[in-house]
């Protein structure tokens, strides 16, 4: 069957194209822009992906068009062509649920933050344990040779996103996945372009919980009031909890479905490079890894609990996580040019920015940290959480805010109210020159943390080249 993907450059759609190709289908597609890492993943797989909403590549007509949700409303020329021509179509999430996940033991990872990393952890744990799982990850995991595959066992690990499915299906994507094991990592207000308030997001998560069977498992944080509010709306599945602290608080809900088990970390190293994993009062082993941040300890505990439900002993998961290398674009160190370290991070929310910068601070101590941020996500562009942006860079020494043309509010207000010295730049080349020609730090190294959920005009490679030129 010939399947055409509209929006193939997105992480979900690009990965679905990989799965469809692996299943034996003829696959191609288009998007309004293509950039790494997904553009590279598609090219390496030999999947043709064109830039622009190309109708010509849908002639002769494909057997099925899978329509993404980003930039594909009514009025899009490719969408209108599909409708006018009467070509069969579906959404990406429904295609996944109806063709890939049927009959599988689905392990879903949901929540506002940490989905990609947690999904990568679970997939790697199962792979390390010899389970040969299928998976679909919204990023590029460094331990695995692809971000999506069908797998050879019943297990399928999927990043379960709450964003809406398509222009013709306004439900969250994850309602199509029907997980048996669910990690519900955390919950905050996000996606201000489609959700009017937190309660609307909680309703979607309630729908997700309704799909988890009674013989499944839901893994949730011990102390997240927004998650607890969803659980109170109804839960029909056993619950296990996690806490990333040496002294977990007894804040579990008095719910009949709570099995009382608590996963928590103990003896945490100051830079979070090592920690003991405990189930209730019993130590399970010690993780020693290269990842940064307490948020990643949280991700690890949830992954260990989910893998245990799938039959993987905690000791095996701990061994796997000690070899876990992380995910591209999640606080990824790209280069160290004569003491200037360049990181790439997929920050999309003030909480993510705060956690990322604190993780770097915990690891590098008194070195200089400069946050370079493009507020590109829908929530950031609309300015819904801009008051939180004032303090989210507190762990850095300074912040540079890049003002994209699509920003709908005055970002200079953040510069004025920022708790650390902050500037605003609108010219990318000038921003790069400013960093590249800055005098060296007084002591230690300088850590440039670039945060955006897009390509950011190719700033990463351009900045590394400019630093090397200055150093020559």
CATH code of the domain containing 26: 3.40.50.720
Lowest mean per-residue pLDDT among 36-40, 168-172, 314-318, 337-341: 36-40
Q: Are residues 156 and 292 in the same domain?
A: yes
Segment 363-380 mean pLDDT:
90
Q: pLDDT tens for residues 48-89?
A: 999 999 888 899 999 999 999 888 999 999 999 999 999 999
Residue-wise pLDDT for 333-366, tens only, equals 999 998 999 999 988 789 999 999 999 999 999 9
Percent of the chain surpassing pLDDT 70: 98
Domain termination residue (choose one: 94, 117, 147): 94
Residues spanned by the domain of 467: 332-471
Q: Do residues 303 and 188 share a domain?
A: yes
What's the whole-number mean pLDDT along residues 5-22?
94
> Which one of 321, 353, 383 terminates a domain?
321
Residues 350, 290: one domain? Answer: no
pTM of the model: 0.92
Same domain, yes or no, for 305 and 279?
A: yes
**Which pLDDT band holds residue 148 (cuts at 50, 70, 90)?**
very high
Same domain, yes or no, for 44 and 189? Answer: no
Cα 218 to Cα 79: distance, rounded to the nearest angstrom: 37
Q: Note whether 253 and 216 are same-domain residues.
A: yes
Sequence-distant (6+) residues with CB within 8 A of 291 are 272, 273, 324, 326, 331
CATH number, domain of 460, equals 3.90.190.20
85 and 194 assigned to the same domain: no
Residue partners of 407: CB distance under 8 A and separation at least 6: 375, 381, 383
Better pLDDT: 169 or 410: 169
Mean predicted confidence (pLDDT) in 26-49? 91
415 assigned to some structural domain: yes
- Residue 112 shares a structural domain with residue 79: no
Is 195 domain-assigned? yes
What's the token pair of residue 136?
């679909």
Considering the domain boundaries, does residue 307 fall inside one? yes
Number of domains in the chain: 3
Q: Does 370 fall in a domain? A: yes
Judged against a pLDDT cut of 60, whether residue 102 lies above it is answered with yes
Q: Where are the alpha helices (DSSP H) in 310-427?
A: 314-321, 350-364, 378-382, 386-389, 412-417
326 occurs within a structural domain: no
The whole-number average pLDDT for the span 136-154 is: 93
Q: Please give the full DSSP string across 117-158, using - where no structure is assigned.
A: HHHHHHHHHHHHTT---EEE-SS-BSSSS-SEE--SSSEEEE
Residues 213 and 361 in one domain: no
The CATH number assigned to the domain holding 132 equals 3.40.1190.10
pLDDT band at 246 (very low <50, low <70, confident <90, very high): low
Q: Are 75 and 116 contained in the same domain?
A: no
Whether 108 is covered by a domain: the verdict is yes
Mean pLDDT for the stretch of residues 170-178: 95
- Residue 327 in domain: no
Q: Indicate whether 351 belongs to any domain.
A: yes
Residues 273 and 184 in one domain: yes
Domain boundary among 67, 94, 121: 94
Q: Is 127 in the same domain as 157?
A: yes
Least trusted range by pLDDT, from 77-81, 175-179, 256-260: 256-260
């Amino acid at each position: 069957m010939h399947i055409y993907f509209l929006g193939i450059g997105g992480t979900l759609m690009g990965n679905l194209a990989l799965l469809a190709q692996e299943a034996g289908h003829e696959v191609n597609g288009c998007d309004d822009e293509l950039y790494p890492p997904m553009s590279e993943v598609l090219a390496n797989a030999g999947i043709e992906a064109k830039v622009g909403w190309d109708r010509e590549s849908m002639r002769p007509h494909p057997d099925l068009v899978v329509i993404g949700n980003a930039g594909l409303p009514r009025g899009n020329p490719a969408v209108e062509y599909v409708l006018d021509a009467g070509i069969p179509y579906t959404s990406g999430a429904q295609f996944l649920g109806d063709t890939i996940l049927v009959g599988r033991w689905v392990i879903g990872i949901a929540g506002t933050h940490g989905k990609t990393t947690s999904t990568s952890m679970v997939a790697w744990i199962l792979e390390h344990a010899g389970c040969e799982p299928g998976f679909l990850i919204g990023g590029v995991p460094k331990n695995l040779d692809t971000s999506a595959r069908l797998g050879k066992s019943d297990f399928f690990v999927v990043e379960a996103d709450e964003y809406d499915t398509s222009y013709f299906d306004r439900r969250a994507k994850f309602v199509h996945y029907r997980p048996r094991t669910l990690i519900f990592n955390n919950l905050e207000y996000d996606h201000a372009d489609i959700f009017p308030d937190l309660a609307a997001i909680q309703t979607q998560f309630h729908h997700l919980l309704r799909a988890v069977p009674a013989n499944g498992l839901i893994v949730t944080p011990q102390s997240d009031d927004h998650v607890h509010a969803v659980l109170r709306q109804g839960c029909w599945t056993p619950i296990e909890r996690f806490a990333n602290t040496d002294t977990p608080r007894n804040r579990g809900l008095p719910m009949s479905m709570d099995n009382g088990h608590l996963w928590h970390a103990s003896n945490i190293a100051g830079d979070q490079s090592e920690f003991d994993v405990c189930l209730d009062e019993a130590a399970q082993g010690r993780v020693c890894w290269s990842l940064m941040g307490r948020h990643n300890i949280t991700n690890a505990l949830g992954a260990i609990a989910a893998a245990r439900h799938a039959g993987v002993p905690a000791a095996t998961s701990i061994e796997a996580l000690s070899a876990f290398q992380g995910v591209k674009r999640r606080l990824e160190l790209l280069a160290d040019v004569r003491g200037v370290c360049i990181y790439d991070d997929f920050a999309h929310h003030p909480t993510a920015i705060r956690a990322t910068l604190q993780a770097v601070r915990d690891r590098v101590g008194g070195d200089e940290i400069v946050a370079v941020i493009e507020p590109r996500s829908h929530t950031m562009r609309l300015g819904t959480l801009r008051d939180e942006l004032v303090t989210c860079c507190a762990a850095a020494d300074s912040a540079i805010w890049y003002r994209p043309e699509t920003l709908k509010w005055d970002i200079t207000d953040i510069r004025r109210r920022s708790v650390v010295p902050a500037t605003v730049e609108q010219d990318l080349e000038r921003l790069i020159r400013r960093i590249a020609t800055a005098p060296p730090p007084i002591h230690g190294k300088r850590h440039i943390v670039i945060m955006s959920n897009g390509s950011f005009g190719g700033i990463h490679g351009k900045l590394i080249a400019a630093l090397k030129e200055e150093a020559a």
